[in-house]
Structure 1
Amino acid sequence: MSDSSISQPPSPDLRPSTPGTPGNMSGLGYFSVPFERFVKDEISDWASGFTLMDTVETYFDSRLDLLQRRLSKHSDRLKLKAESKFNDVLKKDVFKIKSNGDLLTNNLEKEMQKFKLKMTQRMTSLSASWQSAKIVRTREKVTFFGGVMSLFITAVLLGMAPDWIHIFYTFLAILLLPLRIYIYKKRAWHYFLFDLCYYANILNFVWIWAMPDSPALFTACYCLSHGSLASAVITWRNSLVFHDFDKVTSLFIHIYPPLTFTVIRHYYPNPEERFPALAELPRLNPVRSLLLASIIYSIWQLLYWKVILINRRKKIESGQRITSFSWLLNDKRGVIGRMLSAIKPENREWSFMLGQLVYSIITELPAVFLLYDSKAWSAVYLMVLFSVCVWNGGGFYIEVFGRKFERQLEALRKELAEAYARSSSSAPTSPILAAQSDDGLSTVGNSPSLGPVPDKTVSQVELPMETVPDLIVVPAEEETKKDQ
Structure 2
Amino acid sequence: MCTTNKNGKKSSKIRKRVLGENGMTESQDYYQLHQDNVDSERSKDNVEGRTLEKLVYVAATLGILVLTLVVSSQQWAMPFLFAVLSPLIIGIRMIFYWKLKWQYFMIDFCYFANALTYVFLWFPEHENLYRAVFAVANGPVLVAAAVYRNSLVFHHHDKLTSCYIHFMPPLLTFCARWFPAQTSLFWCRTFAAEVPPFSPVWMYAVPFVFFLLHSVTYFLIVNVFVKPEDPYVTSYAYLAVKYERLNCIGGKWGQALAYYSLNWLFCLCSLPVAILAYTSFPAHCALIVFAFLVVVWNGATYYMHVFNVKGLENDL
Q: What range is the shorter-chain TM-score in?
A: 0.7 to 0.9
Contact kept, 8 Å, 1:271 with 1:278, in 2: the verdict is no
1:133 and 2:46 correspond: yes
Counterpart for residue 280 of structure 2: 374
Contact kept, 8 Å, 2:16 with 2:23, in 1: the verdict is no
Q: CA deviation at 1:140?
A: 2.6
Larger radius of gyration: 1
Once the two structures are overlaid, the 10-residue window that deviates more, 263-272 or 173-182, is 263-272
Change (3 A) 1:289 1:136: closer
Counterpart for residue 3 of structure 2: none
Q: CA deviation at 1:242?
A: 2.0
TM-score, normalised to structure 2's length? 0.85
Matches within 5 A, 1:387-402: 387-402=293-308
* CA–CA separation in structure 1 for the residues paired with 2:281 and 2:49: 42
1:114 is paired with a residue whose SS is coil
Number of residue pairs matched by the alignment: 301
Aligned-residue identity in percent: 23
Q: Please provide the CA RMSD for this pair.
A: 2.6
Contact kept, 8 Å, 2:153 with 2:160, in 1: the verdict is yes
Counterpart for residue 86 of structure 2: 173
Q: CA deviation at 1:132?
A: 1.4
Counterpart for residue 250 of structure 1: 162
Change (3 A) 1:139 1:409: closer
CA displacement 1:15-68 (0-9 Å, x = unmatched): xxxxxxxxxxxxxxxxxxxxxxxxxxxxxxxxxxxxxxxxxxxxxxxxxxxxxx
Q: CA deviation at 1:135?
A: 7.0
Counterpart for residue 171 of structure 2: 259
1:303 and 2:228 correspond: no
* CA–CA separation in structure 2 for the residues paired with 1:348 and 1:136: 39
Q: CA deviation at 1:293?
A: 0.9
Counterpart for residue 323 of structure 1: 234
Change (3 A) 1:320 1:136: closer
Q: CA deviation at 1:180?
A: 0.8
TM-score, normalised to structure 1's length? 0.57
Once the two structures are overlaid, the 10-residue window that deviates more, 132-141 or 347-356, is 132-141
Counterpart for residue 138 of structure 2: 226
Counterpart for residue 290 of structure 1: 204
CA displacement 1:156-192 (0-9 Å, x = unmatched): 2223311211221222212211111111111111111
Change (3 A) 1:270 1:139: closer
Matches within 5 A, 1:17-28: none
* CA–CA separation in structure 2 for the residues paired with 1:309 and 1:125: 44
Amino acid at match of 2:101: A
CA displacement 1:109-129 (0-9 Å, x = unmatched): 663623577657744652342
Q: CA deviation at 1:394?
A: 1.8
Q: CA deviation at 1:359?
A: 0.7
1:206 is aligned, of 116, 119, 122, to 119
| Runs (4+) off by over 6 Å | none
Change (3 A) 1:187 1:269: same
Matches within 5 A, 1:117-128: 119=32, 122-123=35-36, 125-128=38-41
* CA–CA separation in structure 2 for the residues paired with 1:186 and 1:120: 33
* CA–CA separation in structure 2 for the residues paired with 1:280 and 1:252: 26
Amino acid at match of 2:280: S
Contact kept, 8 Å, 1:241 with 1:393, in 2: the verdict is yes
* CA–CA separation in structure 1 for the residues paired with 2:80 and 2:232: 35
